[in-house]
Amino acid sequence: MRLSQFLMPTLRENPSEAQIVSHRLMLRAGMIRQSSAGIYTWLPLGFRVLKRIEQIVREEQDAAGCQEMLMPTIQPAELWRESGRYDDYGKEMLRIRDRHDREMLYGPTNEELITDIFRNAVRSYKELPKLLYHIQWKFRDEVRPRFGVMRGREFLMKDSYSFDIDAAAARRSYNKMFVAYLRTFARMGLKAIPMAAETGPIGGDLSHEFIILAETGESQVYCHRDLVEFDVLATEVDYEADLQPIVDKWTSLYAATDEKHDPAIFAQIPESDRVEARGIEVGHIFYFGTKYSAPMKATVTDAEGKDVVVHMGSYGIGVSRLVGAIIEASHDDAGIIWPDSVAPFDVALVNLRSGDAACDAAAGDLYTKLRNAGLEVLYDDRAESPGVKFATMDLIGLPWQLIVGPRGLKSGVVELKRRSTGAKEELTIDAALARLAAKG
């Protein structure tokens, strides 16, 4: 993409309405614009990050045997009356009346709707387990929305639901999602630590929040240092095998949010292994047994032909929230530092003197060759000063900057900068191409 044509309205000044760094940087980098309180348009740069995160989430759900589908945003009130949550949910639920005065709502979550689908579609224990998910916009009418996409009103969530014959089988589904979540966040360059959590309005007996550590996190968290060091992606996972040992490894060490923290137990950990930090919740998983299936009569027939109420769990990842959370965990004073796997483009190609014949030719040629190597390239071909271009590229945080200038070209070299470390290297054009192509 040529930056001269790309809709990326960057801002030089910090917008006064943004209180946290991810919100400031997303506005300044031209990733999002607010359309009303807590509701955002994703401009092309932000949209690209959102899609890459969504795709990682999808691949890991699929790998765990979860089937993708799509439920609508607008739900009928009747289903929420069946579960008893319609009146409980309060003002955070956006309630709507259609032209025939029917009571509808913009779904904040989907336990009721998926349970309705399940009870009409599945009859026999032989069809279990079922793990289903969708990635859909939700609405939560926050009284004071703030912190940008970290706590928006309209937000993109991946929510999965499991249906099993009994509690033991439901635990196996829970474990699949537990492990899939570890892998999902690790692939985004995040250290997400599962912590025992309150179940809140979803309800249930067993629940973990996945928390990433960031100085600017919303809540205080406490855990054993080893949890920060575990390497999630070191081994492949067989989701048909017993996953309990992996779950045990992660849950046997101390990890708790403020709500669940027990200072007495934490004090028993050797001081050098105690981590007290700020954390951001990026995922939350629940096992809640028959909380929805019993009142909504979601049953299957068992081997004896008897009706059995299924056991359920639900599993959420805040897809749009993750864009902000990753920035909270990965930025510096100059701007965003995208992990390679979620960056909106792989390479920033910076032409230091657009309009200069030699620079235009060399940069144009690199633009073609990098794309041919399978890389996503943002080519800064604007008529701006080098200072403006460097500042823009540091702000938007692409993993690599390839800088083409008149001085270097005279000796046949370009500069390659790694955004995360700031390390710069002069290379021949061919060597730079080869280096980057190896990442494509």
Residues that bind a second copy (CB under 8 A): 1, 4-7, 9, 30, 33, 35-36, 39-44, 46-47, 50, 65, 67-76, 91-92, 94, 96, 98-99, 102, 104, 106, 113, 116-117, 120-122, 126-127, 130, 132, 137, 139, 141, 143, 153-154
Of 163 and 390, nearer to a second copy (C-beta) is 163
CB 214 within 8 A of CB 278: yes
Would you tell me the crossing angle of helices 357-372 and 429-437 to the nearest 10 degrees?
30
Instruction: Work out how close the CB of 219 gets to a second copy at its nearest, in angstroms, rounded to a whole number.
Output: 24
In this structure, which amino acid lies at residue 48? R
Considering the complex, state which of residue 35 and residue 368 has its C-beta at the smaller distance from a second copy. Answer: 35
Read off the tokens for 154.
């309209």
Tokens of 15: 């917008």
C-alpha–C-alpha distance, residues 379 and 374, integer Å: 15
4, HSE (Cβ side, Cα atoms, 13 Å): 8
Look up residue 126 and give its DSSP letter.
G
List the one residue out of 179, 175, 195 whose CA is nearest residue 187.
179
CB nearer to a second copy: give 5 or 301.
5
Task: Give the span between the Cα atoms of 254 and 170, in whole angstroms.
Answer: 24
Q: How far is the CB of 422 from a second copy (least distance, A)?
A: 30
Candidates 260, 292, 285; CA nearest to 88 is: 292
Q: Measured from the CB atom, is 79 or 433 closer to a second copy?
A: 79
For a second copy, the closer CB: 39 or 361: 39
> What's the min distance (Å) between Cβ of 99 and a second copy?
5
Q: How far is the CB of 227 from a second copy (least distance, A)?
A: 34
How far CA 161 is from CA of 233, 288, 290, 353, 377, in Å, comes to 24, 11, 13, 54, 38
Least separation in angstroms between CB 122 and a second copy: 7
Task: Give the nearer residue to a second copy in terms of CB position, either 3 or 362.
Answer: 3
Q: Which CB, 77 or 294, lies closer to a second copy?
A: 77
> How near is the Cβ of 177 to a second copy at its closest, in Å?
17
Q: Which two tokens stand for residue 46?
A: 């932000």
Q: What DSSP designation does 65 have?
A: T
Q: How near is the Cβ of 58 to a second copy at its closest, in Å?
A: 10
Query: Alpha helix locations (H) across 330-411?
Result: 357-372, 386-396, 406-410
* Contact (CB, 8 A) for 71 and 111: no
Could you tell me whether strands 347-351 and 400-404 are parallel, antiparallel, or unpaired per DSSP bridges?
A: parallel
What is the distance between the alpha carbons of residues 118 and 122, in angstroms, rounded to a whole number? 6
Distance, in Å, from the CA atom of 24 to the CA atom of 96, rounded to the nearest integer, reads 32
Least separation in angstroms between residue 108's CB and a second copy is 13
Q: How far is the CB of 299 from a second copy (least distance, A)?
A: 15
Cβ closest to a second copy, residue 143 vs residue 357: 143
Q: Which is nearer to a second copy, 1 or 277 (CB)?
A: 1
